[in-house]
Chains A and B, each alone.
Chain A
Amino acid sequence: MKTLVLGLGNPILSDDGVGIRVAREVVGQVRDPQVTVAESSGAGLSLLDSIAGYDRLVIVDAIQTKEGHVGQTYRLGLQDFALTRYFSSPHQLNLATTLELGKMLGLAMPQELTIFAVEAKDVSTFSEQCTPEIERVIPEVVEMVLHELGVRNSKQG
């Protein structure tokens, strides 16, 4: 199955970069030629260009929820976002609308979608590092993604 692992976020905005950090860890541990690992700071239509042609999409991103605990991790599917399907962002499209638009235009859109999200603490201070709480959970999220891909973590020694 042609799979895209996409780390999303801004790599210089503290915890907003967690998706990209995870992607950079994952890339070295995946040998499967069917799996592509990429990072993106884009959204909406830019994502449409990136995800077209893949059967499966795995997104890693930061998240901020009202009741979440910093560092909490989530494994989400498209259904978790279905209620906001028609939400229009100030600039762009949401993921569900993007997928629907792609299908409408006859592009090959992923059939499977999984989102790994990490509850962020700080997404408004410029820094190349995540906050310590988030740095600590990066290995765990990497494992979650590798497990999703069916890759055994082959750490030796």
Chain B
Amino acid sequence: MKRITIDPITRLEGHGKITIFLNDDGSVANTYFQVPELRGFEKFSEGRPAEEMPQITQRICGVCPEAHHMAATKALDALFHVEPTSTAVKLRELLYSAFYVTDHTTHFYILSAPDFVVGPDAPPAERNILGVIAKVGLELGGAVINTRKQNHWIIQTIGGRPIHPCFGLPGGVSRSINEEERAQIEEIGKQSVEFGKTSLQVFDDVVLKNKAYLDMVLSDTYTQKSYNMGLVDEKNKVNFYDGKIRVVGPDGKELCKYAPKEYLKHIAERVEPWTYLKFPYLKEVGWKGFVDGVDSGVYRATPLSRLNAADGMATPLAQEAYEKMYETLGGKPANFTLATHWARLIELLYAAERLLDLSRDPEITSPNIRNIPTATPDEGVATVEAPRGTLTHHYITDERGVIKKCNLIVGTTNNYAALFMSIKKAAEDWIKPGVKITEGLLNRIEMAWRPYDPCLSCATHSLPGQLPLEVTIYDAQGNEVQKLSQGV
């Protein structure tokens, strides 16, 4: 029998392919970045009742189903012209905060920490969560698992199901919570705040106190001066669930601030012949190619961009951490891609604090969880902040609420141009004439990609026959000189 050596559960997301072409002297001539495209979602959704969208769209992405569920639910509010009750909004945000705690925890400990805790040049066999736990201790490892588990319990309790919630309805949610559940959520909120503080302490101890790492964070290789996008509340504080979209330049100046339904006035998409990906950019600034600076319409929508686009955090401990970050990085905005990991942990603490606040809200156990829609549906747009970027759902229906047109801008899509530029810059800086191309060097190129945690082809996740990230390098004559893949 043929021996099959593939990895079953590198399941999620696309198989990124980075192709690098070298000049005669061995320096980088061109870099390309390609991913497979999922087809036919628009067609798939046409003809379906809009009420199905919170269930269907959350299947698009294996990583952030809750974000799609929430964006779809809010788009239904807009479509059916109904305001959700105050308790419904709070329950939605409570669930969403729990989701952020789980997602940011996973990202940091599984994806970010190995590079820093174990080391960027450590052998791949050690550069993983097992290596992280070996360094930071079993107790913290247990806390990672426990925090996720507890917050998944919240998602299941409020959302009706684990992972794929089924509680979002136009005008509200499908069930309320009782006092016993509330008390349990409050307890988890307290633990999550402690966990958020601990995680920032880990970052402080491991990264900030290591000069070599801090220098890497601040280095030009991982610096990109692009625009920053993020949802903000009425006080311009970071908000994941609702608000206006604010865009702030790499110079710190506000470019625009708009309601989700105006997104098409501000965002356009650039098509390039070498990839299926479309590259969104800011219309007001215009497409100037894959370049950074205030004259280029390229923007980022990441944890760091959200912090850059806002004036602060709405909770006290996260605000304290926010101020410390900008003080350390030399002011706002911070254009250091690797600082995205730090921003993610500040968001983790914010989500935990928000979760705790909402669990103590006197309205949270109210049975008043839904306003029944009575208006005729026509068109609805809504935006939430998904962990990996601003997520917008836009539906147009007939008068019965049957989908005629559906457009989604998913979190990662916003970052395509910036992500490509980050990879290109890292490749150009690390691959130099005469420098041996090693696994460690590949990892340093990947480190430019990892802060974005791109969901490339959301939900394409059958057992892969190819490695999820592959770098192929060609010489000036077009001959393949090296192919590097992660691990193995």
Contacts and interface: CB of A to CB of B under 8 A. Distances in A.
Contact of B124 (A59, A86, A89, A107): A86
Contact of B6 (A84, A92, A97, A107): A84
B464 A64 contact: yes
Interface in A68-122: 68, 74, 76, 80-81, 83-84, 86-95, 97-98, 100-101, 104-107, 115, 117, 120
A48 B486 contact: no
B110 A45 contact: yes
Contacts of A27: none
Contacts of A46: 163
B7 A16 contact: no
Interface residues of A, number: 59
B393 to A, nearest CB: 15
Nearest to A86: B125
Interface string B43-69: 110000000000010011011010000
Nearest to A62: B462
Given A41-B164, A126-B44, A95 B38 contact: no
A127 interface: yes
Contacts of A81: 5-8
A89 B7 contact: yes
Given A16-B459, A43-B461, A61-B8, A104 B38 contact: no
B41 interface: yes
A61 B487 contact: no
A93 B462 contact: no
Contacts of A41: 59, 62, 65, 163-164, 459, 461
B141 A105 contact: yes
A90 B462 contact: no
A90 B65 contact: no
B399 interface: no
Contact of A49 (B128, B148, B463): B148
A144 interface: no
A59 B468 contact: no
A104 B4 contact: no
A98 to B, nearest CB: 7
A90 B454 contact: yes
Contacts of A43: 9, 11-12, 62, 461
Given A13-B38, A66-B465, A80 B56 contact: no
Given A65-B4, A94-B8, A126-B39, A101 B16 contact: no
Given A86-B487, A93-B9, A93-B110, A63 B130 contact: no
Considering the complex of A and B, which 3 residue pairs feature the smallest CB-CB distances, nearest first? A89-B10, A62-B462, A63-B463
22 contacts: A10-B62, A10-B460, A11-B59, A13-B460, A41-B163, A43-B11, A44-B11, A61-B463, A74-B4, A76-B4, A80-B5, A86-B487, A88-B487, A89-B9, A89-B468, A90-B14, A91-B13, A91-B455, A100-B130, A105-B141, A126-B38, A127-B40
Interface of B: 2-14, 16, 36-41, 43-44, 56, 59-60, 62-63, 65, 106-107, 110-111, 114, 124-125, 127-130, 133, 138, 141-142, 145, 148-149, 152, 163-164, 453-457, 459-469, 486-488
Interface of A: 8-13, 15-16, 40-49, 59, 61-68, 74, 76, 80-81, 83-84, 86-95, 97-98, 100-101, 104-107, 115, 117, 120, 123-127
Given A16-B462, A91-B106, A97-B128, 16 more contacts: A12-B56, A13-B460, A41-B65, A42-B163, A66-B465, A66-B466, A67-B2, A83-B488, A87-B486, A89-B13, A90-B10, A92-B9, A92-B12, A100-B130, A105-B141, A124-B457
